[in-house]
A = this chain, B = another copy of it.
Amino acid sequence: MATIHDVARAAGVSIATVSRALNGGSRVNAETRRHVLETAATLDFRPNHAARGLATGKLGNVGVLLPDVANPFFGAVLAGITRAAQERGFGVFVADSREDAGGEPELAGRLSQQVDGLVLVAPRMPDDDVLTYSERRPTVLVNRLVGGVDGVAVDAAQGMSDLLTQVALLGHRHVCYLDGPSESRAGTAKRAGLTAAAERHGIDLHVEQSDSPTFAAGRAAAQRVLDSGCTAAVCFDDLLAWGVMTRVRELGVDVPGRLSIAGFDDSLEEGMVTPGLTTVAARNREMGTIAAGMLERRLRDASLSPTTEVLRCNVVVRGSTGSAPA
């Protein structure tokens, strides 16, 4: 692979001139510059990123730490980050903690060696660790907020609150909330939003726990939801709701006639399930895009005061919710 020296020799100039021509182009004769660029092109020269990083202290890369790339939720966030970063000329490093918060410190440490900044999508990481990393490198948090650190999150409390308001308007008085993993920060916000709204509307909110936010877990919890005697079930996420809905219908329960069901995320396309699932649109990809933008701003100006963005999320009403049975 050609180096800057090869180009310099071939073009008959010094490496400094090559460097200038390649970069801004300031303080170089236009003609010289043209010539250098041309030579570089014919030699198929590509600046060595590592070397440039060493010299400038800027790697031109951002790192993303997340629990599971294969999970569509995180996949969408990653897509948002990656595309936005690429457009701004940044490379993207990804580390997958396999949903194991214990491995995160190690991964984050290795990541930070190669990047200028970090995007943390780590719902289960302790706040202290978040602070530690954010001191080492410019950091932005996704779907969670910690004081003093840049972050973007969906307002899950507001989303759930609005959702429950909808449900209340339909006349439901006994609502079951099927929660996700208890350590998740998102779960806390969702519960808070629901509790507040339940109080406001005089709703009796019954909480059931599920160990993981999956379709299978939803199926498994369906009977418990029915047994609660509630007329509506709100679930931690769409997969869980999907599972509940599938199972209760198998049991001959009319949805929404006898049980209304709602989820969170809006990850199911129109028509994928019948009736369509009422849910809250979570804007994952957008969070990724915004996070990348925030990180870039911070990298350009470290003195910025911490920014935080909370995205409103909208309730999407479909056929799985209806009036409470008389």
Contact B86 A96, beta carbon cutoff 8 Å: yes
Residue with the highest number of chain B CB atoms closer than 10 Å, among A61, A82, A216, A285: A82
Contact B86 A78, beta carbon cutoff 8 Å: no
Q: In the complex, A22 Cα to B268 Cα: how many Å?
A: 50
CB-contact partner of A271 in B68, B72, B83, B246, under 8 A: B246
**A91 interface residue, CB < 8 Å from B?**
yes
- A285-296: CB near B (< 8 Å → 1, else 0) gives 100000000000
Contact A70 B59, beta carbon cutoff 8 Å: no
**A50 interface residue, CB < 8 Å from B?**
yes
Q: In the complex, A110 Cα to B219 Cα: how many Å?
A: 45
Chain A count of residues within 8 A CB distance of the other chain: 50
Using known A-B contacts A69-B69, A70-B285, A272-B215, determine if residue A47 contacts B113 with beta carbons closer than 8 Å. yes
User: Whole-angstrom distance from the CB of A38 to the nearest CB of chain B?
Assistant: 17
Residues of B within 8 A of A274 (CB): 246
- A40-71: CB near B (< 8 Å → 1, else 0) gives 00000011111101100001010000001111
Residues of B within 8 A of A69 (CB): 69, 75, 78-79, 82
Interface of chain A residues 294 through 308 with chain B (CB within 8 A): none
Contact A215 B269, beta carbon cutoff 8 Å: yes
Contact A51 B54, beta carbon cutoff 8 Å: yes
Using known A-B contacts A69-B75, A75-B70, A79-B69, determine if residue A50 contacts B46 with beta carbons closer than 8 Å. no
Number of copies: 2
**A92 interface residue, CB < 8 Å from B?**
yes
Residue of B nearest to A274 (CB): B246
- A243-255: CB near B (< 8 Å → 1, else 0) gives 1001100000000
**A316 interface residue, CB < 8 Å from B?**
no
Residues of B within 8 A of A242 (CB): 272
User: Whole-angstrom distance from the CB of A50 to the nearest CB of chain B?
Assistant: 4
Contact A49 B113, beta carbon cutoff 8 Å: yes
Residues of B within 8 A of A101 (CB): none
**A107 interface residue, CB < 8 Å from B?**
yes
- A97-109: CB near B (< 8 Å → 1, else 0) gives 0100000000101
Contact A94 B113, beta carbon cutoff 8 Å: no
**A133 interface residue, CB < 8 Å from B?**
no
Residues of B within 8 A of A110 (CB): 46, 91
Q: In the complex, A21 Cα to B16 Cα: how many Å?
A: 36
Residue of B nearest to A214 (CB): B269
A-B contacts, 5 of them at CB < 8 A, read: A1-B136, A69-B79, A79-B96, A86-B107, A91-B95
Give 3 closest A-B pairs by Cβ, nearest first.
Answer: A70-B79, A50-B53, A50-B50
Given A50-B50, A50-B114, 11 further pairs, Cβ under 8 A: A50-B54, A50-B113, A69-B75, A70-B72, A86-B95, A94-B94, A215-B269, A215-B272, A216-B269, A243-B271, A246-B272
